[in-house]
């Protein structure tokens, strides 16, 4: 009887350790996308947005990572600033992809407020030990050369100040091509989502760690 109990305790300890390792592996790499309609899948079929495509790619290549889409259509930098702390507390991400500012720019918000709000969001992420990938946006030329340039400059300025990874333009390579947008001329269509994914992936992949081997499995 004593021998049986000893064996049972040993087996229980192994099971607990394996379960703990599996749990840690499954939650070690949460990527939170914190954006607006460009990332929420506005006007697209379910699972067609670039964030959903990113989930599928990681499931194949780095399944230890999971993706949380905390994006909201219509989000501004101010509303993002107001909810970032709760989002970080809820999801505890290792990486945050910040894709905000476009709605502020389209509304003609002050450059100072956009910079300040984004800076506060970045600082909250870094305080919570989350690495940040900042995705920049451009504005249509009808907003004036001075404003559009100042808006565009916000992103590299913040990236340099906070020492974080930068994707200068989320829609790089097709932002001026009408065939990649919905009828509103603002939101990328289904055909554009793979292009956005490749833009994001080009930076994000440098931030990802190779998946560690599962304990007990031979090479």
Q: Please give the positions annotated as active site.
A: 37, 184, 187
SS3 sequence, the chain? CHHHHHHHHHHHHHHHHHHHHHHHHHHCEEEEEEECHHHHCCCCCCCCCHHHHHHHHHHHHCCCEEEEECCCCCCCHHHHHHHHHHHHHHHCCCEEEEECCHHHHHCCCCHHHHHHHHHHHHHHHHHCCCEEEEECCCCCHHHCHHHHHHHHHHHHHHHHHHCCEEECCCCCCCCCCHHHECCCCCCECHHHHHHHHHHHHHHHHHHCCCCCCCCCCCC
């Amino acid at each position: 009887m004593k021998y049986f109990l000893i064996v049972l305790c040993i087996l229980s300890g192994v099971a607990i350790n394996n379960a703990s390792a599996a749990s840690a592996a499954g939650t070690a790499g949460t990527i939170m996308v914190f954006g607006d309609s460009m990332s929420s899948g506005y006007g697209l079929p379910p699972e067609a947005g670039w964030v959903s495509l990113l989930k599928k790619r990681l499931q194949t290549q780095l399944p230890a990572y999971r993706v949380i889409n905390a994006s909201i259509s219509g989000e501004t930098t101010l509303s993002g600033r107001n909810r970032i702390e709760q989002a970080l507390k809820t999801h505890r991400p290792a990486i945050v992809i910040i894709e905000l500012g476009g709605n502020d720019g389209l509304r003609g918000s002050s450059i100072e407020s956009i910079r300040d709000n984004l800076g506060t969001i970045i600082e909250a992420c870094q305080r919570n030990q989350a690495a940040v990938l900042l995705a920049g946006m451009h504005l249509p030329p009808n907003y004036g050369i001075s404003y559009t340039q100042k808006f565009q400059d916000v992103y590299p300025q913040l990236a340099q100040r906070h020492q974080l990874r930068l994707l200068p333009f989320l829609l790089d390579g097709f932002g001026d091509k009408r065939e990649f947008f919905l009828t509103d001329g603002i939101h990328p269509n289904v055909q554009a989502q793979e292009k956005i994914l490749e833009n994001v992936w080009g930076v994000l992949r440098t931030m990802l760690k190779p998946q560690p081997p599962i304990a007990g499995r031979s090479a």
